[in-house]
């Protein structure tokens, strides 16, 4: 029995040190890259002596100021990993060839792994647009939820997410409307987080907006009507959606706010919800 225990212990120790070794290399490389980023921040602005005088009218000497601080994230973008385990996602994010990462990964059991300092630019958003912002990686924090893409999110995972969001919102004064999903910023290209994601619960906690559910009466009538001249595509654009592909924009809106069906058409009820939401965003 004792021998068995010893073998198990040795085995566990071996696994732990092996995991440590495999991350040591990537952590070392990470620190090296952080130093390069620091170098970019520490560089003194150029003066006339350093540039071609014909190309830029610039002062002879550098004049500094002490009135500054570091730039802050202003959006949070939520994803599902479309993978089967936290370990699989972490492996993906530690392989240089994948060129993808996120600041936080949250497991099904609620474990939070922070891989990047909030001030660094993670590669999670890819090509995307929200309003006029086309570089969401520079402006946002990326959070990946371990989920295969077709399953509900566990209570523990959402509880952890809410704690992370609370910290981020207060640290960086992120506006309530700026908690959005990957599908919101990349219509037709991304569908995460999947329609099981509890956006309504998040909005009730102050992260993201939701429509007034009281606008629908039990008899199928509603307390407000969509005006005849209401243009749903303009409304989607004002909310932030990239409307270059109108059908894809409608589908992204439905993944987030309708969730029961996510096709690319707007029913009377969908239009009512869109109209109600658009008034909150405009
Ligand atoms: Zn994503």
Is residue 233 a part of any domain in this protein?
A: yes
Same domain, 226 and 143: no
Same domain, 154 and 257: no
Same domain, 160 and 230: no
Same domain, 77 and 194: yes
Q: How far is the CA of 182 from the centre of ligand 1 (A)?
A: 5
Is residue 205 a part of any domain in this protein?
A: yes
Same domain, 225 and 190: no
Using the 3D structure, point to which of 210, 233, 253 is the last residue of a domain.
Answer: 210
Is residue 235 a part of any domain in this protein?
A: yes
**Which one is predicted more confidently, 218 or 276?**
276
Residue 47 pLDDT level (bands cut at 50, 70, 90): confident
Is residue 161 a part of any domain in this protein?
A: yes
**Which one is predicted more confidently, 233 or 10?**
233
Q: How far is the CA of 142 from the centre of ligand 1 (A)?
A: 9
Same domain, 194 and 103: yes
119 has pLDDT over 60: yes
Q: What is the pLDDT of residue 19?
A: 57
Q: Catalytic residue at 246?
A: no
Is residue 2 a part of any domain in this protein?
A: no
pTM of the entire structure?
0.89
Q: How far is the CA of 141 from the centre of ligand 1 (A)?
A: 12
Number of domains in the chain: 2
Q: How far is the CA of 184 from the centre of ligand 1 (A)?
A: 10
Same domain, 121 and 225: no
Q: What is the pLDDT of residue 222?
A: 77
Is residue 43 a part of any domain in this protein?
A: no
Is residue 187 a part of any domain in this protein?
A: yes
Residue 58 pLDDT level (bands cut at 50, 70, 90): confident
Same domain, 169 and 140: yes
Q: How far is the CA of 75 from the centre of ligand 1 (A)?
A: 14
Mean pLDDT in residue range 175-201: 98
Q: What is the CATH number of the domain that holds 163?
A: 3.40.80.10
- Which of 144, 159, 224, 246 is the catalytic position? 144
Is residue 99 a part of any domain in this protein?
A: yes
Using the 3D structure, point to which of 184, 210, 236 is the last residue of a domain.
Answer: 210
Same domain, 79 and 200: yes
178 has pLDDT over 60: yes
The HSE-up count of residue 255 (CA atoms within 13 Å, CB side) is 26
Using the 3D structure, point to which of 193, 210, 227 is the last residue of a domain.
Answer: 210
What domain range includes position 190?
A: 69-210
Q: How far is the CA of 135 from the centre of ligand 1 (A)?
A: 15
User: Omega before 193 cis (within 30°)?
Assistant: yes
Q: How far is the CA of 125 from the centre of ligand 1 (A)?
A: 7
Same domain, 188 and 223: no
52 has pLDDT over 90: no
Same domain, 182 and 270: no
């Amino acid at each position: 029995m004792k021998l068995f225990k010893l073998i198990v212990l040795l085995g566990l120790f071996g696994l732990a040190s092996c995991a440590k070794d495999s991350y040591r290399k990537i952590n070392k490389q990470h620190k090296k890259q952080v130093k390069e980023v620091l170098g970019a921040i520490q560089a003194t602005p150029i003066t006339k002596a350093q540039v071609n005088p014909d190309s830029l009218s610039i002062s002879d000497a550098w004049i500094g100021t002490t009135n500054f601080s570091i730039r802050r994230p202003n959006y949070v973008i939520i994803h599902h990993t479309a993978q089967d385990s936290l370990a699989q996602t972490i492996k993906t994010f530690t392989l240089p060839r994948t060129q993808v990462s996120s600041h936080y990964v949250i497991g099904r059991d609620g474990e939070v792994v922070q891989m990047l300092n909030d001030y660094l630019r993670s590669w999670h958003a890819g090509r995307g647009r929200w309003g006029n912002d086309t570089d969401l990686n520079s402006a946002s924090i990326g959070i990946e939820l371990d989920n295969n893409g077709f399953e509900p999110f566990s209570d523990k995972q959402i509880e952890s997410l809410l704690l992370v969001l609370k910290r981020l919102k207060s640290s960086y004064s992120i506006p309530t409307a700026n908690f959005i999903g990957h599908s919101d910023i990349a219509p037709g290209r991304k569908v995460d987080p999947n329609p099981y994601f509890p956006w309504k619960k998040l909005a009730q906690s102050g992260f993201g907006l939701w429509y007034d559910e009281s606008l629908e009466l039990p008899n199928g009538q509603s307390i407000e009507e969509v005006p005849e001249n209401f243009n749903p595509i303009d409304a989607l654009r004002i909310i932030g959606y990239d409307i270059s592909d109108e059908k894809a924009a409608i589908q992204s809106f439905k993944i987030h706010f309708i969730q029961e069906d996510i096709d690319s058409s707007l029913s009377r009820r969908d239009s009512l919800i869109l109209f109600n939401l658009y008034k909150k965003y405009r």
